[in-house]
Structure 1
Amino acid sequence: MKRKILVIVIMLFATLMQSQDYSALWEGHYSYLNIKDTSRGENKIYAAAENAIFTYDINTFEIEKISTINGLSGETISTIHYSQDYGLLLIGYDNGLIEIVVDGEVNVLTVVDILDKPTIPPTNKRINHFNEYNGVVYIATDFGISVYDLTGLEFGDTYYIGDNGAQIRVEQTTVNGGYIYAACFDNNGIKQASVASDNLIDFQEWNTISGGNFVSVQEHLGSVFAVRANRRVYRIENGVLNQLTILNDPILDVKSNDDYLLITTQNDVYVYDVNFNLILNPTFNEELNTSFTSASFHSGFLYIGTESHGVLKTDIDIGISYEELHPLGPLANTPFSILAQYNSLWVTYGDYNYYHTPTPFKNQGFSRLTGDEWLNVPFENVLGARNLGQIDVNPLNASQVFISAPHFGILEVNNNEPTILYDESNSGLESLVVPSAPNYKSIRLDAKTFDTSGVLWSLTARIEEPLKSYNPDNGQWNSYDFTSLIPDGFNGEIGYNDIVIDFNNTKWIASVNNGVIVFRENNGNQQLINIALEEQNMPSAYVNTLAFDQNNQLWIGTLQGLRVLYNTGNIFQDEAIEVQSIIVEQDGLPSELLYQQAISDIEVDGANNKWVGVTGSGLFYFSSGGQETIFHFTKDNSPLPSNNIMDVSIDDDSGKVYIATDKGLLAYGSGSSGTEEDFEEAFVYPNPVRPDFNMAEKKVKFRGLPENVNIKITDIEGNLVAEAQSNVNLRYKGYHLEIDGGSAFWDGKNLGNNTVASGVYLVMLTDLDSLETKVLKIMVIR
């Protein structure tokens, strides 16, 4: 009955509370290895990673994911609780947000009352614990206790239980024997009140039965157990705390499941029976090399959340072997650099600050996605290289990859195995030299790329010869001096962010202090200039990213805006170099595109359109000239977990756009692809189009098209259903059949604006330049 009533309530409030499901066009590639909390359902275990959830069915052993793709916010999760009576999963966040996932429902319900409450400081809104009792949930927070009615899905009172009604940090609550108990921090101790009182908002109703810092209070089979921050565990009897034990490590999680009290520390899970007898003690496993975070018990098995291995499942009667449970995914939700190339996606997790100092060091390896399979190479295997950054694949040997490691050098990877770390001792790379600390070694390198002949070019800051070339075929290193442009190599340039190479083999370099640096070897002579000045229309000398488009125009992303250099061919002959801003019309007035915005990445797709990542403002998708904004994805209108875009990479074959944010990795699956010379690679998918495929949202896709093409779709009798032509039926213009680069998209509707019936349809392709033709067949099943 409770679940039926709940469905009615949800229907009444759906327009206010439901988040959107984005699974039609988006994919989430989150990491589920770092578990924040676990909870058990009727036949499932729920596990919360940093900003996503997965469920494990204890009967079918199936694992399912819940993430921003399904409507979660992408914020940092602090705690979860599953209500078996109401079929609800409650998710609490560090920022005070609460989200509710309803059994059998697609959308996620969002509760923003605490998040938006102006009387509570933003730093004090963290959700610490959910305690369900008689149809309500007592929510322990950093400001006190809030009451939430599960039947009406609405808030009741908020209890500020500190002295004189002050806001205090409450870690956990529990109810037993007619009393509600609160474990409080900041020396506020254990507080107790009558749960039946109508006046719990009065702080004087709450009695302090013990002082100190408490991290937990938990009812278990008629008894109440309390845990102090000093690792001591107590039983509360008649308002008195009786000490039971002192554990070795700080206590992170306490739960009561069936006949067991579960206490979790970073190295142990202690399983106690009703008499507080220790019956099982799973402990740190050197092979797994991870820390525990939480634990739940269900049907004879213990499920232990960890920091780096998801959930470990073990038989409570054995407790010595673990089964690792989690969805496939990358190592972490902090991608720094990504590269989609040769049907693979590479991911690293390094970082550096504004001054290009790689601190703090991050001990993480790298990840590779091939098809649906993730390969994660841990830090232990990357030869000591920390803060891994930019990835480059040898164009002449796809199994050979080079990953920059600022401070450490360049890591070479062959067939997914790290094989050598290049540094100042075994290569042409150079460390900076600090006169006051001559033994200090640091190779400030990140930006690098391959040229078409398979030579790797890299940039190292704070030295006089920053540009290095390396030929993997013969092992030869060369260095190139920049002192004619930057006389003081140590102080004159602190970092290089990007390098691109044009068809003339000219190197275009994004720097921190010197704008765009242009380098060319000219018959043994070096040509070296830069574009950095306000007189050259540069908004900032700090350049983050560079990209050449299909018209050989250079797109420049700076810390304070976007610029384009249209004439790149005569760069060394032009005496008055000037880059251009893009002027668009907004509200009838001309304005600069992305004025003063920090551009983090620029990528060019197969249609010559531009994907531009912006720190703090999400991802923009512009037409080829930048005059039209096709999409602007943010965390408010898409499944992006953050508006801070770290990197973007496009799979040229599928058109899939991979987006790295500071809170996770996603893919937008409806990007355009590059054009082809002929129809040899042309195909359509899905084929057949089955009844469960939503053509209007997901679109039927055609790939492998030439640059100038006409497409006609007819039924089997020859009646025209849809038609499109390159440069006419452009994408996102509202046509049923649209062309974008080497791709086309059909929403399944005919000329009469009706969805087509079941049947076989012919797709007639014509290359308008060569007049080559090809016919594809597609079956639609409705």
Structure 2
Amino acid sequence: MRFSYILLFSLFAFLPVSAQNAIGEWQTYLSYHNPTRSEVIGNKLFIIANGGLYAYDKDDTSIHTYSKSFPLSDTEISYIAYQSVYKILIIIYSNANIDLLENEEYVYNLPDYKNKNITQDKSVNHACFYKESAYLSTASGILCVNLKKREISNYYALNKNVLACNVSDGKLYAATSDGLFAGLLTDNLLDINNWEKVSDDTSEFLSKYRDIPFKEEVPENIIPNSPVRNYPYFMNFTGERLLIAGGGHIANRLERPGTIMTFEDNIWKSFQEEGISEQTKLRYDDINCVVQDFQDKTHHFAASAGEGIYEFRDGRFVNWYSMHNSPLESALPDEPSKNNYVRVNGLIYDKEDNLWMVSCGVAKNPVQVLRKNGSWVSLNYPEATERSNFGRTIFDKRGWLWATSSRIESGGVFCLNYNGTIEDTSDDQHKFITQFTNQDGTILEQLAVYCIAEDKEGAIWIGTNKGPLVLNNPSRYFNDNFYCTQIKIPRNDGSDLADFLLVNEAINAIAVDGANRKWIGTAANGIYLLSANGMETVHHFTEENSPLLSNSIESIAIHPRTGEVFIGTGKGLVSYQSDATEAENSFKESNVRAYPNPVRPDYDGVITVTGMVYDSDVKIVDTAGHLIYQGTSLGGQFTWNGRNKQGKRVSTGIYMVLAADSEGKEGVVTKIAFVR
């Protein structure tokens, strides 16, 4: 027996491992810059920054972050206060939800105040403690929380902005915008008549009991590695680097400071912001997309919602292109504010490393190309002029350019086949469709198009204000009889009726994973994972049933190697570790990895095998050749729960993973070791 274990563990040394997240695991990527409040708890400093919470240990200098992924109940924290007797940190969220963090570990959620049906402002200005109670001064009264029972005990509606409160001589004092009021704790303070005004002047009371945001100053060098802001408006991957732009415009500008961030190898970085507006003499705000040069990973361009495009090297600003030094045009060329209406979007490189872009609302050249040699080409397509909200772009497998327009009055999809000749437009095919006809002959009017993606089969998926549309035959786009498909989902009521997929949802983002499944981000109902054909909902994540920060999805990007799905929401960035990755073009033994490996006795999750080709046939067999389990990879990844066909956990031993492509022409073998 001893010899057999030595043999097993000697084999383990040669089995590949991976640090990829477990399937189904959520990560939260909040910004922890710009501290606004701190509390001291023993040797630790708890800090709110950009609505996030983290703790700094002053002894060992370690940093621990808290988020909705674990263990908190919500996001966007506005206030914290600590009670030392019960060792409870009260956490108030911007939506008036309340968490009690006990002993820095256990969380008790008190949603009653958030759910309370009152029209007044619920924000908290101050906290004081008396016996087992916490009295929270709010914009319209005082909220009483019983820390011993972990419940909200009372809410005293004073209909005044309470700046601070305190208990003294059996009375609860409240400094309000209308003076100092007091009420006996033994009286029914729910009755506003039991409160009396004791002074018009609150200055002395506030000087003694005023709110102190920072119980201890926050050292400048303890900011956790994190995004600089919670603005994941636009995201894409170039290789394994995630690029994020934090601004843009919808109907109006988002009025966000110029924000460009990267995430790679678990390290967050930000591009230069300071000094750019001083050089351009214009505002540096609302960056709506960023793109990386395929030939040079240090070289980037970013587009803005009004001031043209910016060039960066190593994250430093090096050049600026607007209407004065390039062919870029203003949407309001005759107005005094014309310099702030050079609205560019959809930056994208073609295979020859030329940078394409679309201009919003211009009268002449809606498409511009910055050639790799530095020259410009301006392209005039009359049907695409004066489109006020040009947005996302893609090049499809044929090399055709597609661009979305999201303004309902002029929304739609523009497609350009330039036949590989940028300057020669004589052979171009181009068309802007504002009213799509579906497969039933129904005309879809007042259509706003927010996003676009091409799937593994070459179909074009577009997200609109009327749900997703599928262009199954995009090569026929220029034909007069072209139509789109609205996916019909049969009802579960036994009838022959069907409903259009997500027809009442505005679709802000679409991403295609390695298994050709569609991740659909909605404006108000979270994110869906649909099967490849869209007929089945694999997952529907919302802020109510998952760590998703908000039901408003702004962007989606999928890590090409790990399959981690990055989800940009209106409240910040989260990710979900999917069970699908991009497939390999062919089997390589060095690419095939199984993890965890070995599988320890206390592990009860799934075993993941990566490095597969698309739709690999996979069989798990024991050393005697008996079939234990079989299935098909999702893109380049296969998962197994470690059980046999009868649902029982397999015993100690070595198990072979036999994978072959769908035609059986090539395959690969790897091993998984189990210890029980």
Q: TM-score range by the shorter chain?
A: 0.7 to 0.9
1:595 is paired with a residue whose SS is: coil
Deviations 1:79-136 (A, max 9, x none): 1122322232211123321112233646x32212212222x21x42223333222111
> 2 CA distance for matches of 1:438 and 1:764?
65
Equivalent residue, structure 1, for 2:253: 358
Judged with a 3 Å threshold, the aligned counterparts in structure 2 of structure 1 residues 404 and 125 are, in CA distance, closer, same or farther, namely: same
Pairwise mapping of residues 642-653 of structure 1 onto structure 2 (< 5 A)?
A: 642-653=550-561
Q: 2:592 aligned to 682, 697, 701, which one?
A: 682
> 2 CA distance for matches of 1:409 and 1:692?
56
- Do the aligned partners of 1:351 and 1:387 also contact (CA within 8 Å) in 2? yes
> 2 CA distance for matches of 1:113 and 1:82?
20
**Residue 779, structure 1, aligned to residue 676, structure 2:** no
Pairwise mapping of residues 326-365 of structure 1 onto structure 2 (< 5 A)?
A: 326-354=223-251, 357-358=252-253, 360=255, 362-365=256-259
**Residue 207, structure 1, aligned to residue 196, structure 2:** yes
**Residue 127, structure 1, aligned to residue 155, structure 2:** no
1:115 is paired with a residue whose SS is: helix
- Do the aligned partners of 1:88 and 1:100 also contact (CA within 8 Å) in 2? yes
The unaligned stretches of length 5 or more in structure 1 are 1-21, 215-224, 228-232, 237-252, 256-293, 297-302, 305-311, 314-322, 727-738
**Residue 226, structure 1, aligned to residue 123, structure 2:** no
Equivalent residue, structure 2, for 1:532: 434
Q: 1:324 aligned to 221, 230, 241, which one?
A: 221
Pairwise mapping of residues 450-599 of structure 1 onto structure 2 (< 5 A)?
A: 450-463=349-362, 464-472=364-372, 474-483=373-382, 485=383, 489=385, 492-511=386-405, 512=407, 513-522=410-419, 524-525=425-426, 526-533=428-435, 535=437, 537-572=443-478, 574-588=479-493, 589-599=497-507
- Shift, 1:443, TM fit: 0.9
> 1 CA distance for matches of 2:337 and 2:45?
55
Equivalent residue, structure 1, for 2:346: 447
> 2 CA distance for matches of 1:447 and 1:72?
37
Judged with a 3 Å threshold, the aligned counterparts in structure 2 of structure 1 residues 190 and 779 are, in CA distance, closer, same or farther, namely: farther
> 2 CA distance for matches of 1:60 and 1:759?
42
Deviations 1:409-431 (A, max 9, x none): 12222233332222223333222
Letter in 2 for 1:559: N
Equivalent residue, structure 2, for 1:34: 34
Equivalent residue, structure 1, for 2:658: 764
**Residue 703, structure 1, aligned to residue 610, structure 2:** yes
> 2 CA distance for matches of 1:346 and 1:500?
16
- Shift, 1:616, TM fit: 0.6
Pairwise mapping of residues 140-289 of structure 1 onto structure 2 (< 5 A)?
A: 140-160=137-157, 162=158, 167-185=159-177, 188-195=178-185, 197-211=186-200, 226-227=205-206, 233=207, 254-255=211-212
Deviations 1:275-302 (A, max 9, x none): xxxxxxxxxxxxxxxxxxx312xxxxxx
Q: Which moved more, 1:200-209 or 1:57-66?
A: 200-209
Equivalent residue, structure 2, for 1:631: 539
- Shift, 1:405, TM fit: 1.4
- Do the aligned partners of 1:54 and 1:326 also contact (CA within 8 Å) in 2? no
Letter in 2 for 1:132: F
> 2 CA distance for matches of 1:758 and 1:85?
50
**Residue 607, structure 1, aligned to residue 607, structure 2:** no
Equivalent residue, structure 2, for 1:222: none
1:569 is paired with a residue whose SS is: helix
- Shift, 1:23, TM fit: 10
> 1 CA distance for matches of 2:600 and 2:87?
32
Letter in 1 for 2:110: V
Letter in 1 for 2:180: I
- Shift, 1:673, TM fit: 1.2
- Do the aligned partners of 1:606 and 1:673 also contact (CA within 8 Å) in 2? yes
Percent identity reads 27
Pairwise mapping of residues 426-445 of structure 1 onto structure 2 (< 5 A)?
A: 426-437=325-336, 440-445=339-344
Q: Could you tell me the TM-score, scaled by structure 2's length?
A: 0.87
Letter in 2 for 1:27: Q
Structure 1 segments of 4+ aligned residues over 6 angstroms from their partners: none
Equivalent residue, structure 2, for 1:274: none
Judged with a 3 Å threshold, the aligned counterparts in structure 2 of structure 1 residues 762 and 51 are, in CA distance, closer, same or farther, namely: farther
Judged with a 3 Å threshold, the aligned counterparts in structure 2 of structure 1 residues 507 and 23 are, in CA distance, closer, same or farther, namely: closer
> 2 CA distance for matches of 1:657 and 1:199?
53
2:152 is paired with a residue whose SS is: strand
- Shift, 1:686, TM fit: 3.1
Q: Aligned-residue CA RMSD in angstroms?
A: 2.6
Q: Could you tell me the TM-score, scaled by structure 1's length?
A: 0.76
- Do the aligned partners of 2:616 and 2:660 also contact (CA within 8 Å) in 1? yes
- Shift, 1:510, TM fit: 0.8
- Do the aligned partners of 1:95 and 1:127 also contact (CA within 8 Å) in 2? no
- Shift, 1:755, TM fit: 3.2
Letter in 1 for 2:618: I
Judged with a 3 Å threshold, the aligned counterparts in structure 2 of structure 1 residues 136 and 336 are, in CA distance, closer, same or farther, namely: same
Equivalent residue, structure 2, for 1:113: 112
Letter in 1 for 2:245: T
- Alignment length (residue pairs): 632
- Do the aligned partners of 2:330 and 2:338 also contact (CA within 8 Å) in 1? no
